[in-house]
């Protein structure tokens, strides 16, 4: 009888440790995200299941080109997925269907070489200068993306994390990397 209770207690201990481990991982390190909508096509499609890295941005600042999940500034209970185009201090200019970035390191500006958007897609919007601690984000499907061009910048404390991995669908499993501009 003593060995039975010992076995039950061991099972309970393992269960408690597993639950604590899952809660720590889920709340502080990795979070699942299900894409809803077409704003990130062709990179991500509606129904894609992603893993979000919540730790990286506690150790460093977001970088241009990274795909992030954040709380929508108009409704903190809604989560969006977009690509970072502008960093704090940047001015984003739109001309000839392209996005240009001007900042202290590049006062004359440079055009973003956006290989992740479909050929022929034009990027339009109003010029925008970012204050400290804020990011300009856009969807890869520019014609169908509700993004910073419509509602402004994303504050750093609204950023949940960095998209690291697409797990579903299985035939499209992908480790996500930022583009080199």
Show which residues are catalytic.
39, 82
Say if residues 112 and 98 touch (Cβ distance below 8 Å).
Answer: yes
**Euclidean distance between CA atoms 39 and 80, whole angstroms:** 10
Contacts of 41 (CB under 8 A, 6+ apart): 118, 140, 141, 144
| String of DSSP letters for 34-98 | E--SSTTTTTS-TT-EEEEESSHHHHS---TT-EEEEE-TT-TT-EEEEEEEE-TT-EEEEETTE
Q: Using DSSP bridges, classify how beta strands 67-71 and 159-168 pair: parallel, antiparallel or unpaired.
A: antiparallel
Two tokens, residue 69 = 């999940």
């Amino acid at each position: 009888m003593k060995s039975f209770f010992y076995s039950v207690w061991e099972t309970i201990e393992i269960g408690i440790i597993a639950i604590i481990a899952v809660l720590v991982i889920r709340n502080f390190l990795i979070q699942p995200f299900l894409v809803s909508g077409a704003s990130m096509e062709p990179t991500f499609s509606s129904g894609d299941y992603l893993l979000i890295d919540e730790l990286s941005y506690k150790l460093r600042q977001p970088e241009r080109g990274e795909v992030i999940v954040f709380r929508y500034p108009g409704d903190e209970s809604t989560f969006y997925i977009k690509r970072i185009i502008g960093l704090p201090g940047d001015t984003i200019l739109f001309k000839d269907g392209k996005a240009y970035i001007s900042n202290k390191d590049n006062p004359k500006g440079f055009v973003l070489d956006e290989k992740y958007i479909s050929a022929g897609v034009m990027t339009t919007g109003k010029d925008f200068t970012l204050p400290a601690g804020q990011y300009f984000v856009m969807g890869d499907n520019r014609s169908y993306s509700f993004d910073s061009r419509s509602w402004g910048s994303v504050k750093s404390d609204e950023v949940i994390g960095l998209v690291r991995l697409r797990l579903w669908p299985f035939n499209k499993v992908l480790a996500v990397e930022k583009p080199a501009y």
